[in-house]
């Protein structure tokens, strides 16, 4: 890349926007994980409060079915939530700087524009890769919420 007027500023703007988008994704991931902890807490409380009163004594068949559905919904929502909270190493929130460091160490001609442009380009690829994973996590969180609703409904039916 040859130095041109305005190129440095354009590359810097792209790099700054790429960094902002990556940071926004990191924040979204942490938000989903925090909400997952709250969801798991609520699901556990619902199961404990309803379950401790309903599981005692003899029941009609439909109450037993409702209890089984409630416990299954709790178990599945707990599994989904644990999966949401599990740390994974395939997120891309930083860029590998090794090639730039080697070029600088070997005194190759590296301009600020080249570095900024390449970092912005790599960040865009990382953002795309993270986006698919975030969509999947949001979908799983939605299912965990739906299972919590099913659990509450099943406990309510069992308590009739």
pLDDT in tens, 111-159: 777 777 778 888 888 888 889 899 999 999 999 999 999 999 998 898 8
**Considering the chain, what percentage of its residues have pLDDT values greater than 70?**
94
CB 154 within 8 A of CB 69: yes
State the pLDDT at residue 113.
75
Which residues touch 87 (CB under 8 Å, ≥6 apart)? none
Give percent above pLDDT 90 in the chain: 34
Residues 52-85 as b or e (16 or more Cβ within 10 Å = b) = eebeeeeeeeebeebbebbbebbebbbebbeebe
pTM of the model: 0.76
């Amino acid at each position: 890349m040859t130095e041109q007027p305005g190129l440095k500023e354009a590359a810097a703007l792209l790099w700054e926007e790429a960094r902002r988008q990556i940071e926004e994704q990191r924040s979204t991931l942490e938000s989903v994980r925090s909400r997952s902890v709250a969801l798991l807490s609520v699901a556990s409380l619902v199961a404990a409060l309803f379950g401790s009163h309903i599981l005692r004594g003899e029941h009609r068949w439909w109450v037993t079915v409702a209890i089984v559905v409630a416990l299954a919904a709790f178990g599945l929502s707990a599994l989904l939530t644990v999966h949401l909270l599990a740390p994974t190493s395939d997120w891309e929130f930083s860029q590998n700087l090794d090639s730039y460091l080697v070029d600088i160490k070997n005194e190759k001609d590296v301009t600020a524009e080249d570095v900024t442009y390449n970092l912005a380009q790599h960040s865009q690829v990382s953002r795309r890769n993270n986006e698919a994973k975030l969509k999947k996590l949001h979908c799983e969180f939605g299912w965990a919420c739906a299972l919590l609703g099913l659990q509450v409904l099943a406990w309510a039916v069992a308590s009739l």
